[in-house]
A = this chain, B = another copy of it.
Amino acid sequence: MTQISLIQIDNYGPWTVEPEPRRETDIQALQSNLYADLCSMFGSRGGLVFFSRFDNMVAVTDGISEEEHRRVQESVNNRYPVTVSIGVGRGTPREATEEATGRLQREGGAQDSSRESSLSFGETGESSTSGTVSSKGHEVQIGHCDIDGVTRKYTDELDGYESHLRIQEGYTRLARRMWEGHGSLTFFVGGDNFISVASGLDRHDFDEVIETVDAFDLKVGVGEGDVPETASRRAKMGLERCRETQERVCYGASVSSTR
């Protein structure tokens, strides 16, 4: 099972242009610092956060309680000129996203001025003790992809914008394929890195997606775990193994739990 939290800045569009359009670099700095703070707060609890559209961010939050969501939300609301609302869902990545979106939308529209700092967490179906992880078998699966030889073939070879554009184009094909074919959420996370939040995919599935996308030579490390961070760390270990073995898909071995 995966727990997805959809984090939306309340009534953000109007804010950016009232009383008159705000300076673009200030908006960019605000968005990026907010995202960094969410990474810091959810991340240090074992979660993962993706910037997505920046005004709508997606977090994988298995094991993070309603109380902890509220703390993070309160902290944002105390430190920024905007507030955020959060909807949370559970199930496969697709189900969880749909539930999280539905909860958020029922609280009010993104530009509904009456919605402010709402949190719709739903039921976890278990005693949600703060900080503890849900029962075994509720595994998060993460695929961490990068492009083989990106520095040699792109960064050091093409101009800076063409490299940028090819990576974004490849990204959207990969992401669409993973979403349609496997209900997985794939995000660009900087450089030549993409992270898929998946569920139950096997080596063949990943291999087939890479084959189909055919944008560039992708490698995928796959990791699973009770909390997103553990799955992410194992996925990175898998990707390191791909680098060593030149295999295309590698599973990250279980690593010590203390780190």
A residues apposed to B, CB below 8 Å: 6, 8, 12-13, 16-17, 21-33, 35-37, 39-44, 47-49, 51-56, 58, 67-68, 70-72, 74-75, 78-81, 94, 97-98, 100-102, 104-105, 109-111, 129-132, 151, 155-156, 158-165, 167-169, 171-172, 175-176, 179, 185, 189-192, 195, 229, 232-233, 236-237, 239-240, 258-259
Chain B residues positioned under 8 Å from A175 (CB to CB): 165, 168
CB within 8 Å for A78 and B26 given contacts A156-B105, A163-B53: yes
A48 and B25 contact, CB distance less than 8 A:
yes
A78 and B109 contact, CB distance less than 8 A:
no
B25 and A49 contact, CB distance less than 8 A:
yes
Chain B residues positioned under 8 Å from A240 (CB to CB): 17, 21
Query: Can you tell how many copies of this chain the complex includes?
Result: 4
Output the least CB separation between A56 and chain B (Å).
Answer: 6
Measured CA separation A72–B259 after assembly (Å): 11
| Complex: chain B residue closest to A152, CB-CB | B109
Main secondary structure of the interface of A (DSSP, over half): helix
B29 and A39 contact, CB distance less than 8 A:
yes
A163 and B56 contact, CB distance less than 8 A:
yes
A13 and B161 contact, CB distance less than 8 A:
no
B165 and A168 contact, CB distance less than 8 A:
no
A111 contact from B21, B55, B151, B189, Cβ within 8 A: B151
Chain B residues positioned under 8 Å from A168 (CB to CB): 168, 171-172, 175
B169 and A26 contact, CB distance less than 8 A:
no
Q: A29-B36, A29-B79, A70-B258 are in contact. List 6 more A-B contacts (CB 8 A).
A: A17-B236, A23-B78, A24-B43, A67-B258, A97-B159, A161-B185
A58 and B24 contact, CB distance less than 8 A:
no
CB within 8 Å for A23 and B58 given contacts A29-B43, A130-B131, A240-B17: no
A35 contact from B13, B22, B32, B171, Cβ within 8 A: B32
A40 and B75 contact, CB distance less than 8 A:
yes
| Complex: chain B residue closest to A191, CB-CB | B55
A28 and B49 contact, CB distance less than 8 A:
yes
Chain B residues positioned under 8 Å from A56 (CB to CB): 155, 160, 163-164
Measured CA separation A48–B29 after assembly (Å): 11
A43 and B23 contact, CB distance less than 8 A:
yes
Measured CA separation A168–B52 after assembly (Å): 9
Chain B residues positioned under 8 Å from A179 (CB to CB): 161-162, 165
